[in-house]
Structure 1
Amino acid sequence: MSDFGSRSPLHGLARRSVGFFDVLAQSVSAVAPSAAATTVVLLVAGVEPSATVPAVLLAGILSLFVAQTVSQFARRFAATGALYTYAVRGLGPVPGLAAGAAIIVGYAAIAMFALLGGAYYTSMLLGALWPAVHGPGAIAGTLLAEALLLVLVLVRGIRISSRVALVVEAVSVAIIAALLVALLVRMGPIDPSVLLPADGVSLATVGAGALVALTAFVGFESAATLGVEARTPLRTVPRAIAWTVLVSAVLYLLAAVTQVAGFAAIDGSIADSASPINELSAAFGLGGWGVLADVGIAASFLACAIGSATALTRVVFTMARDGVVPKAIGRTHRRWGTPTGALIVCLPVIVLVPLALVLAGVDIRAAMHVTIALGGAGYIVAYVLVCVAAPVFLRRIGELTVGGALMALFSAAALTAALAAFFIVDAAGGGAVVWLAVAVAMAATGAIAWRLRGGRRLPERIGTYDEPIATQVLGGVPRADQAAGGDTVRG
């Protein structure tokens, strides 16, 4: 069997080194369900409190559709570039670059949001123990401590980072779920009418809330960025994506119902709450649980930062291997198989931006709102492009089905409508997210135009994905233009 490569185009990563639970940990940590169950529900309520539960339900259904569409690619080839590579394979280089730029913005902004969230909840916990520890200085110090831990975990290797994230998230989800159930038991029967939109609430408002709720699910596809490092990736990656969305959806609905019904029971406003879980815990005699929940939420935010940064660096690594960005960024650690070139480029950005916001005196909740909204917009644009790419790709390989095409196109249309609704509602309320998104989009367009300037062609192998190597095939013989040797990470 001749003409196989002696090494993968994405060589240098710790190839085929992690199992299903490590891959699942990547998606779960990027989603950070325990943190999102509390913070994102509050942000959805900020759009319209009475639309919170329908918006979360709509976002969950739509996320399942998108997950199924993404899995059409994940079942067929392993790509560290994930959505970027999928869009290239379906729509070609330029739309693929647009999807790559969008998902980079998404991963980076959500990593910033997670670092800010972790610092916010950690500073609250520290302030309760030592009242002198408060203000921007304490938050900035916490951010730097988080950044140090982030660097150590990400450089050390995917097995360490994924398992740390999985343990943290498992404990956090168990704490939050137990607290939510305890609150439901304490508050007694719920009036179903408080869970439905109030009179006069438009579908556009529910759609805007659904987009914010979608930010609680984004990152579920990040398991695909471990396509090279996963064992049996064509099976484990789609399973990890599906399980992440299902578990998250159940937890978010439980959180939305509990918080909306809880504030209705105490005649309070969830939209005006600084920490809904703490206020409800105190109101229903579970104050100690609220503090424990804060610990879990802070840890979950850190896990989210780890997962988002892991996915971000692997997309940038793939672009470097494609020749889209400088090839030096595609370097990997010789011992641990981590994309150190991409880490050196990406980590300063995701740490210094939130640190600058805090030191500039920007309210941390406002900074969190902007970063999660911008990150959500980046994710949605990438999801839309991949949903459009899926039917094109499947038709090209002769495997398109009517059901798959309808699901993909419906998802693309619904995501586009939700994004438009959010921008309209945000702009009408005086928000700046739409203008920030426009500025980022213009910058990305300029970067792509610069890359294509003067008629310069993109490399032929853009959209690189993992391929079988000679040592994996019985009787495999490497191509003559490649040196002998396997695709191992040298110590």
Structure 2
Amino acid sequence: MSDFAEKSRDRLHGRCLSFPETLAQSVANISPSVTPLIIVPLVFASAGQGTWLSYVIATVGIVLVGLNVNQFAKRTSSPGSLYTFAGRGLGSVAGFLTGWCLLAAYLLTATAVMSGALSYASMLMNVAGIRLPAGVIGLFFSIIAWYVAWKNVKISARLMLAIEGFSVLSITAVAIIVLRHEGLLDYLQLDLASFNARGVRDGLMLAIFGYVGFESAASLGEEARSPLRNIPRAIALGILLSGLFFVTTAYVEVAGFNASGARLANFNYPYNYLSGRVNFAWLGTLISIGVTVSLFACAVASINAAARVLLAMGRHGILPSAFKLVHISNRTPHVAATMAAATMLASLLLMLGLGNSPSDIFDQFGTVATYGFLVSYILVSLAAPVYLRHRGELRARDVFVSLAAIAFILPAAISTVYPTPAAPADRFPWYFAAYVLVGLAWFLVVNRRSDESLFSKIKTELDGALPTPADAD
């Protein structure tokens, strides 16, 4: 057997995903239909009439981070995503820290969005007169999510694309009807002099949460066709399409509530209210169904991304070697996907068992997940110019983009811990810091015992030690 054939047995399903399927991973992880229904009311509570402006600023900032991610994605590909990218630029410790934080972010996001799916599913079932414990619904959803991630990455991608497309179209239909009903211009939102700058800033942090996961298409480095072209395109297009959708729907949502006299921050299901107000209540039901399944698709996308980070860490010897195993027929990281799904389910059932509501779980796990994403984004933005300098390709504008992204993300990260948030969120940074310290201790022990540094392993992987015939695409 040739060296390539021997090595390829441990590889994922090579170059099987088209551009739309690669885009689906980023879009599903962003889960754009969730933002107008769950996150916009929270942003409005801080930003008020400046909600749409918080989303404009958030979009610009995430575009800057995406440009730094794409410095790597258009030159190399790996299922480790930001973990391997930051390691290639900044070395072993920064690479591990990025991967460790990203892993927590994906797993916590999976739990958060699955709890959101439970909340919407329970509401729909109550309307239909069906009563089931949240834990039973969570178990059912989690088993399906695991099976989809375990079975076939193409099935995952196509399912996620169809689900998100349906949800976005339903919300867009209501937004168009609301604009026709209430008028295009909402002067309350267009009066910049009345904006509260601090409120817009505070709303920015929540607005950023709507974008996290945009980089997850990079985890398909072995599975995407023409990865050096399609992955950067998927990341960029995912951000831009989501940004346009977020700004537009935030504006329409606030305008609809301004016209009604109701306060948006007091509503858990705002688009159900708006669709009923314009005499299209059935569209509100469709949206609720769509966002339930969209949240489920986001959980699948998070499991997919987490599994591939686990796979990369298993290959590099940082985590148990079982995580690098690939299913012989499905060509998926089945052990890693099972671990990710099991962690999500265990966290969900534990929190429900402790008396937390699905909405509480969404808020708490989503908050801590954001810490992981923000740390990862800062590190990969730092790594980008260093990586380009190593390659002899650094330009002044690359340094500017790196510094601008950090200048945007760092204050947002600081705002999560200062001023000190109210309980129980005041304890979350300490939980996350403890997780990071445990991970770093583990890394130092494992790296000391290894006969090759993590940096060397990452460099070997990204320099193309395991080529495939389709790499030339």
> TM-score, normalising length from structure 1?
0.89
Is 1:194 matched up with 2:189? yes
Aligned pair partner of 2:366 in 368, 372, 378: 372
Within the candidate set 287, 293, 298, 2:287 is matched to 293
Root-mean-square deviation (Å): 2.3
Aligned CA distance change for structure 1 residues 320 and 283 (closer, same or farther; 3 Å): same
Name the CA distance, whole Å, in 1 between partners of 2:6 and 2:84. 19
Structure with the higher fraction of residues in helix conformation:
2
Deviations for 1:252-298, whole angstroms, at most 9, x for unmatched residues?
11111011111111122111112111112222322111111111111
Is the Cα contact below 8 Å between 2:150 and 2:338 reproduced in 1?
no
Correspondence 1:472 to 2:464: no
Residues 303 and 471 (structure 1), Cα distance of their counterparts in 2 relative to 1, 3 Å cut: closer
For 1:450, which of 442, 456, 460 is the aligned residue? 442
Measured after TM superposition, the shift of residue 43 of structure 1 is 2.4
Match of 2:176? 181
- Give, in whole Å, the separation in 2 of the partners of 1:454 and 1:283: 60
- 2:86 maps to a residue whose letter is A
Partner of 1:355 in structure 2?
A: 349
Structure 1 pair 467–455 and aligned structure 2 pair: CA distance change class (3 A):
closer
Distance of aligned partners of 1:395 and 1:141 in 2 relative to their CA distance in 1, 3 Å threshold: same
Residues 219-265 of structure 1: CA deviation (Å, up to 9, x unaligned): 11111100101111000100111111111011111111011111111
Q: Which amino acid aligns with 1:263?
A: F
Q: 1:241 aligns with which of 214, 235, 257?
A: 235
Cα distance, 1:257–1:272 mapped onto 2, change above 3 Å? same
Q: How many Å apart are 1:453 and its aligned residue?
A: 3.5
CA distance in 2, matches of 1:473, 1:332: 19
1:55 alignment counterpart? 54
Query: Using a 3 Å threshold, how does the CA distance of structure 1 residues 260 and 328 change in structure 2: closer, same or farther?
Result: same
Shift of the 400–196 alpha-carbon distance from structure 1 to 2, 3 Å rule, reads farther
- 1:433 Cα shift? 2.9
Whichever residue aligns with residue 260 of structure 2, its letter is I
2:334 is aligned to 340
Report the residue type matching 2:335 in the other structure: G
Deviation of the 1:76 alpha carbon: 0.6
Does 1:412 pair with 2:411?
no
Q: Which stretch shows the higher mean deviation, 363-372 or 186-195?
A: 186-195
Range with bigger deviation, 463-472 or 276-285: 463-472
Q: Tell me, what secondary structure is at the counterpart of 2:133? A: helix
- Structure 1 residue 305: Cα displacement: 0.7
2:52–2:248 CA contact under 8 A, matched in 1? no
Question: What letter matches 1:36 in structure 2?
Answer: T
Structure 2 residue identity aligned to 1:90: G
The yes-or-no answer on 1:93 pairing with 2:92 is yes
**Distance apart, 1:67 and its partner CA:** 1.0
Deviation at 1:349, TM superposition (A): 1.0
Shift of residue 10, structure 1, vs aligned partner = 9.1
| Counterparts of 1:196 and 1:30, CA distance in 2 | 34
User: Which whole-Å deviations, capped at 9, do the CAs of 1:37-67 have from their partners, x for residues lacking one?
Assistant: 3212122223343342111111111111111
Q: How far apart, CA to CA, are the structure 1 residues paired with 2:7 and 2:430?
A: 38
Q: Which runs of 4+ in 1 moved over 6 A?
A: none
Q: Counterpart of 2:355 in 1: which secondary structure? A: coil
Partner of 2:153: 158
Aligned length, in residue pairs: 465
In structure 1, what is the equivalent of residue 277 of structure 2?
Answer: 283
**Cα separation, 2, equivalents of 1:30 and 1:266:** 33
CA gap 1:376/1:455 in 2 versus in 1, 3 angstroms = closer
User: How many angstroms apart in 2 are the aligned matches of 1:462 and 1:209?
Assistant: 41
TM-score, normalised with respect to structure 2: 0.93
Q: For 2:347, give the aligned amino acid.
A: V
Q: Deviations over 1:328-377 (max 9, x none)?
A: 12111000111012123221111121222223221322221112121122
- CA offsets per residue over residues 441-460 of structure 1, 9 Å max, x none? 22222221233139815543
In the TM superposition, what is the alpha-carbon distance from 1:471 to its structure 2 partner? 6.8
Mapped contact 1:19–1:231 kept (Cα < 8 A): yes
Match of 2:267 in 1: 273
Contact 1:17 1:229 in 2 (8 A): yes
Tell me the residue number matched to 1:478. Answer: none
Distance 1:423 1:271, change over 3 A: farther
Structure 2: stretches of 5+ with no match in the other structure? none
Query: Following the alignment from structure 1 to structure 2, what is the Cα–Cα distance between the partners of residues 234 and 213?
Result: 29
Q: Report what 1:439 is aligned to.
A: 431
